[in-house]
Amino acid sequence: MNVIGPWDRALLCGVLSMARPDVFGGILIRAAQGPVLSNWLRQVESFDLEASRMLMVPASVGPDRLQASLSVARSLSEGRAIYQTGLLEEAAGRVMVVNGVERIANDVAALLASGLDQANGIKAGHIAFIGVDESFDGENSIPGILAERLAFRADLHGLRANDLNGIVYSREDPRRIRASMSAVSIDEAALTTIAAACLSLGIRSMQVPIFCMHAARGLAALKSRSTVDEDDIAVACQLVLPGRAHPMPETEAPPPQHEDLSKSDPDQSSSEPGQSETDGANEAGNGLETQIIEAVTSAPIMLDGAPKKGRRQDRSGVSGRSGENVIALDRGRPDRPLKSQSGRGRIDVLATLRAASPMQAARQRASGQNGLHIRKSDLRIKRFRRRKQSSVIFIVDASGSAAMHRMAEAKGAVERLLSQCYSRRDLVSLIAFSGEEASVMLPPSRSLVRARRQISDLAGGGATPLAHALVEAYKLARAERDRGRTPFLVFLTDGRGNITLDGTADRAASHDQVSNLGRTLIKGQFPAVFFDTSRRPDPRTRRLSDDLGAQYQFLPNADGDTVSKIVRQRIGTR
Amino acid sequence: MPDIAFPFSAIVGQEALKDALLVSAIDPNLGGVLAFGDRGTGKTTMIRSLAALLPVQSVVKDCQFRCDADRPAKLCEACQGLSKEGTLKSVQETPPVIDLPLGATEDRVLGAIDLERALGRGEIVFEAGLLAAAHRGFLYVDEVNLLDDHLVDILLDAAASGVNRIEREGLSLSHAADFVLIGSGNPEEGELRPQLLDRFGVFVEVSTPRDVASRVEIIKRRQAFDEDPEGFAKSWKRKDAALRKRIVTARERRPEVVASDEILERCATLCLSLGSDGLRGELALIRTATGFAALAGKEQVETAHLRRAAPLALSHRLRKDPLDETKAIARVERAVEDVLGS
């Protein structure tokens, strides 16, 4: 099968997107700013059939800039209201590039998505969207509402300027595709291969196989063929599927395999989603599907949507790359502007104009002067509303003999908290530690469904890496605080760590290290409660809890009900 | 999005969502549809398809409130003026489908003072928002679970009352905003507060088909449509026309459909056995069942209609037990079997 390199893949994505922005939407590309990305963008720009300039938009773009809005500066200088066109409108029929797309806010993503859909009766050329994911490890996920609408995934990480050779494309290529793609046919066997490959990779969205189908036809048109061959399918899948595979958690049924085509009736089987999951492994003879799956899963992957279970947190630094975004969030959502009393605060120009506008005619008449009349009583200041969210972080000891029980009760507590916390919009996460590592099993979430799916009762047994757990907890708590939330740590352990950060199995050294870490990283920084799950109270564990600055609770049975009750009381009283 | 909508009859599977949308089209005051589940199930497509299927409406030309030209008593002030002068012009339009994206401001949703005219000419004129644009059609909110709570409240209030009341910035007015609210979302990204859940008339859990054959069929139809929308729409025209006729007849018939005391009693028993909160569930159940009866051309609500309506009307109104992982829909189906017999 034809496995193509990352540069060729990226170029093909560009060629196809420029040929049919209406069916493909665009590209999500992982790349660092630099000559490789610039080179690629230049080439894509040269494929654009409308030959218009690319519209570069920063990730920090605000929702107001995307839609048409009053241009305050120009309105004031000319004395009449002047609207500026929104970026979505400007982007119609052009290529829109968002750098650092992993940092965009949910509401901006939703507006971009509605621009791509040309919703609400906007009639103009289609936008070809390029989202540049600058994250180093691809761990930040792009809002699904946007990612779902972009057909292609490419990755330029690790490429150097002199790796960039291969097939050269020109504007003629997208032109040929646009002219002849509608005449390219694709047979049932090819569609079956695509549908089956997507299912095996756990991709539920129907949009994805539709993208593969169109991409395969586009590739055939590129080669001036009128039917799709196996190569087209293989390449199309490599352009569309990477990063979309959703690894199924172990607790769930294995990814559904496709069933025997002869016995399935569309109506019947679609109403019984469980049915197909039980039968049939991959028959031999569909080698192409297997090859596609291999090619796709071995490609460098950035994940969109649900993170993989047990994913490691970024180890390079805690405050990390999304700093700017975090600050913007931390200032809260704009609330209704307030009438200025003291003159302090930032003036909300739009609201001020709005307040002044009804009086203009009268004031102009009274003063005999044209132009804008603004009085002190019109002034409005900006207010931000800050919702103090709590982020409850469970740190659960999954080692030793009582591990299974502890995990099950912790899961119960998480679920109870989540089901009782809707209105508060609090988040809950869970770090489990055993063996030689601590990992985030459930990233901060308020979804009961996700908690159920991602927290498994699997206990690692083995050593008790309490020090690792503290470091992991600290990182997560810092990150949450940077997002403007109030972290709250909940420890469930007997406190008998026996392995140090460098992996030495030494109970005494580990104990000292844990005390130290607790005093420096946790105490006084993050509120915490410590549930001691040992059989009988041990003064050393008590001291450890003090080192963490935590409220100590002796709870040998670690029952989830009590845990959730105490946590609720604590976050409620702060 | 192409100008031509994907034919509703050509949509593969998704029976529950189709049911929910059809009932809402027959009875727009049902309270809206909430569709939760996977992305890429074609929810947006389906809503646009349904709107295109519905009979065209007579709308006053250039009226920002989308006044009904055939109902003189309900015209807005401006249109009443035109009507007196005899210069009222009407156009035929398909019902609108308006998207409300997450980033939409309150101004944009409710409408606000028209700044250009206020500043330029000193006139206070209202500039209608998305609620007015959705009048007599559909308002679609993707990711409704991520929308700010106060906006969701505004939407649900308007959807329930059919009126948008504005009291702000020196404006005091109200206009008709009769639309079917359709919310969608992915529960993995956050859940909706139970208070809001309960206010949606019907609930559907959507998922994409898990078998290859249905998926291939969906891709095939999509390909045919994307390459030749007119041709594809033409080949489904007869089926769509038949369905349109059924909807129109059902709309007329619905007010005449009666539910016997026996049926009402069964509704109550069903709701009691599920412990669903409040009266809303019961009302929604009867309304939904009435819609199905009208759609089937019946004069009476029958048990079969209740059975079909129950999962839609009740599954989002059950009290949650955090430790019970059984899906709500399964619980409703079990209760239906117990109360109505299998």
Q: Match 């308020």 to its residue by tokens.
A: A446
Contact A473, A522 (CB under 8 A): yes
Does B113 contact A354 at a Cβ distance shorter than 8 Å? yes
Contact predicate B213/A264, CB 8 Å:
yes
Question: Can you tell me the distance from the alpha carbon of A533 to that of A557, in angstroms, rounded to the nearest whole number?
Answer: 7
> Which of B118, B212, B322 is closest, CB to CB, to A415?
B322
**pLDDT at position B305, please?**
94
> A12 and A235 in contact (C-beta within 8 Å)?
yes
Hey, are the CB atoms on B119 and A266 less than 8 Å from each other? no
Q: Any CB–CB contact under 8 A between B319 and chain A?
A: no
Of A106, A198, A358, nearest to B170 by CB-CB distance is: A358
Number of domains in chain B: 2
Mutate to test the interface with A, among B6, B36, B102, B206 (most CBs of A within 10 A): B102
| pLDDT value at residue A282 | 39
Kindly state whether residue B336 falls inside one of the protein's structural domains.
yes
- The mean per-residue pLDDT over the stretch A99-120 comes to 83
Average pLDDT of the residues in A498-523:
87
- Is the same domain home to B27 and B163? yes
Same domain, B29 and B109: yes
Tell me whether residues A273 and B40 touch, CB distance under 8 A.
no
Query: B333 vs A18, B206, B309, B328, CA distance in Å?
Result: 49, 16, 11, 9
Instruction: Please say which residue of B168, B187, B206 terminates a domain.
Output: B206
Amino acid at A453: R
Cα–Cα nearest to B24, from B254, B270, B210: B254
Name the residue of chain B whose CA is nearest to A23's CA: B226
* pLDDT value at residue A404: 77
Tokens matching residue A305: 């949507």
Residue B223 lies in a domain: no
Q: Which residues of chain B lie closer than 8 angstroms to A191, CB-CB? A: 216, 219-220
* C-alpha distances out from residue B104 to A356, A494, A529, B141, Å: 24, 50, 40, 10
Q: What is the DSSP letter of A498?
A: -
Its domain, for residue B192, covers 8-54+94-206
One domain for residues B199 and B269: no
- B211, A270: Cβ pair inside 8 Å? yes
Per-residue pLDDT band for A311 (boundaries 50, 70, 90) equals very low
Distances (CA, A) of A77 to A74, A80, A265, B211, B226: 5, 8, 68, 62, 48
CATH number of residue B160's parent domain: 3.40.50.300
Encoding tokens for residue A415?
Answer: 């679920």
Mean of pLDDT values over A50-70: 80
pLDDT at B17 (0 to 100): 93
Q: Is residue B73 part of a domain?
A: no
Point out the residue among A63, A109, A148 whose CB comes nearest to the CB of B40.
Answer: A148
Torsions phi, psi for A536 (to 5 deg):
-130, 150
Beta-carbon contacts of residue B115 (< 8 Å; ≥ 6 apart): A70, A81, A353, A354, A357
A422–B170: do the CB atoms touch at under 8 Å?
no
Q: Which of A204, A303, A377 to mutate to test the interface with B (most CBs of B within 10 A)?
A: A204
What pTM, to 2 d.p., does this model score?
0.70
- Is B332 domain-assigned? yes
Task: Identify the CA nearest to A447 among candidates A422, A430, A424.
Answer: A422
Distance CA A460, CA A322 (A): 32
| Diameter of chain A measured on Cα atoms | 89
Do residues A238 and A9 lie in contact, with contact meaning Cβ atoms separated by under 8 Å? yes
Q: Does B217 reach chain A within 8 Å, measured CB to CB?
A: yes
Based on the domain organization, do B193 and B289 belong to the same domain?
A: no
Final residue belonging to a domain, choices B206, B228, B246 = B206
Interface test with B, best of A107, A193, A409, A568 (most B CBs within 10 A): A107
pLDDT at A290 > cutoff 90: no
Q: What is the pLDDT of residue A82?
A: 66
Looking at per-residue pLDDT, the higher value among A125 and A198 belongs to A198
Q: How confident is the model at residue A459 (pLDDT cuts 50, 70, 90)?
A: low
**Which of A66, A306, A422 has the CB atom closest to B193's CB atom?**
A422
Res. A569: pLDDT tops 90: no
Answer whether residue B76 is part of any domain.
Answer: no
Confidence of residue A269 (pLDDT cuts 50, 70, 90): very low
Separation in Å, CA of B143 to nearest CA in chain A: 8
Please report, in tens digits, the pLDDT of each residue of chain B (342 residues total). Answer: 447 889 999 999 889 999 999 999 999 888 889 998 888 888 888 988 999 999 989 999 888 899 998 888 888 888 888 888 888 888 999 899 998 888 777 778 888 877 667 666 666 778 888 999 999 999 999 888 888 777 888 888 888 788 898 876 667 888 989 899 999 988 777 777 777 788 889 999 898 888 899 999 999 999 999 888 999 999 999 999 999 999 999 999 999 999 999 999 999 999 888 877 668 889 999 999 999 999 999 999 999 999 999 999 998 888 665 455 567 778 888 888 888 876
CB contact under 8 A, B115 and A357: yes
Q: Are residues B185 and B108 in the same domain?
A: yes
B44 contact residues in A (CB cutoff 8 A): 117
What's the pLDDT at A63?
77
- The answer to whether residues B26 and B106 belong to one domain is yes
Give residue B105's pLDDT: 75
Mark out the alpha helices in chain B (DSSP H runs): 15-26, 43-53, 77-85, 106-110, 115-121, 130-133, 149-161, 194-197, 212-227, 229-235, 237-253, 261-274, 280-295, 303-314, 328-340
Q: Indicate if B149 and B296 belong to the same structural domain.
A: no
Distance from CA of B260 to the nearest CA of A (A): 31
The percent of residues in chain A predicted with pLDDT above 90, rounded, is 23
Least Cα separation, residue B14 to chain A (angstroms)? 8
> Which of B39, B108, B246, B280 is flagged as catalytic?
B280
CB < 8 Å from A in window 147-176 of B: 148, 169-170
Pair of tokens at residue A399: 């080692």
Q: What is the DSSP string of B20-48?
A: HHHHHHH-GGG--EEEEE-SSS-HHHHHH
Residue B331 known to be catalytic: no
Contact between chains at B39 and A75 (C-beta distance less than 8 A): no
Q: How many residues does chain B have?
A: 342
Which CATH homologous superfamily contains domain A389-573? von Willebrand factor, type A domain (3.40.50.410)
On whether residue B139 sits in a domain, the answer given is: yes
Closest partner residue to B122 among A23, A360, A422, by Cβ? Answer: A360
Q: What is the pLDDT at residue A3?
A: 72
For residue A312, name the pLDDT band (cuts at 50, 70, 90).
very low
Contact B103 A422 (CB under 8 A): no
Residues of B in contact with A22 (CB under 8 A): 2
Mean pLDDT of chain B: 86
A6-240 and A389-573: same fold?
Answer: yes
Q: What is the pLDDT of residue A252?
A: 37
Q: Which of A114, A144, A148 sits opposite B101 (nearest CB)?
A: A114
Q: Do B199 and B260 lie in a common domain?
A: no
From chain B, pick out residues whose CB is under 8 angstroms from the CB of A420.
322
* pLDDT at A259 exceeding the cut of 60: no
Residue B20 lies in a domain: yes
- Convert the pLDDT of each residue in A141-200 to its tens digit: 788 889 999 999 999 988 888 778 778 899 999 999 999 998 999 999 999 999 999 988
Tell me the count of A-B CB pairs closer than 8 A. Answer: 217
B185 and B292 fall within a common domain: no
Q: What percent of chain A has pLDDT over 70?
A: 75
CA-based nearest residue to A471, from A499, A507, A506, A451? A499
Beta-carbon separation of A110 and B320 below 8 A: no
Domain range A6-240, CATH class = alpha beta
CA-closest candidate to residue A141, choices A307, A270, A264, A16: A307
Q: What is the mean pLDDT of chain A?
A: 77
Note whether residue B194 is domain-resident. Answer: yes
The domain spanning residue B330 has which CATH number? 1.10.8.80
Query: Of A404-413, A509-518, B272-281, which has the strongest mean pLDDT?
Result: A509-518
Higher pLDDT, A115 or A253: A115
Q: Whose structure tokens read 């040309």? A: A118
Determine the average pLDDT of the residues in A364-377. Answer: 78
Q: Let me know: does A91 contact A66? Beta carbons within 8 Å.
A: no
Structural domain boundaries in chain A: 6-240, 333-385, 389-573
- The structure tokens listed for B310 are 């129950």
Please give the residue that has the higher pLDDT: either A281 or A229. A229
Residue that terminates a domain, selected from B174, B206, B238: B206
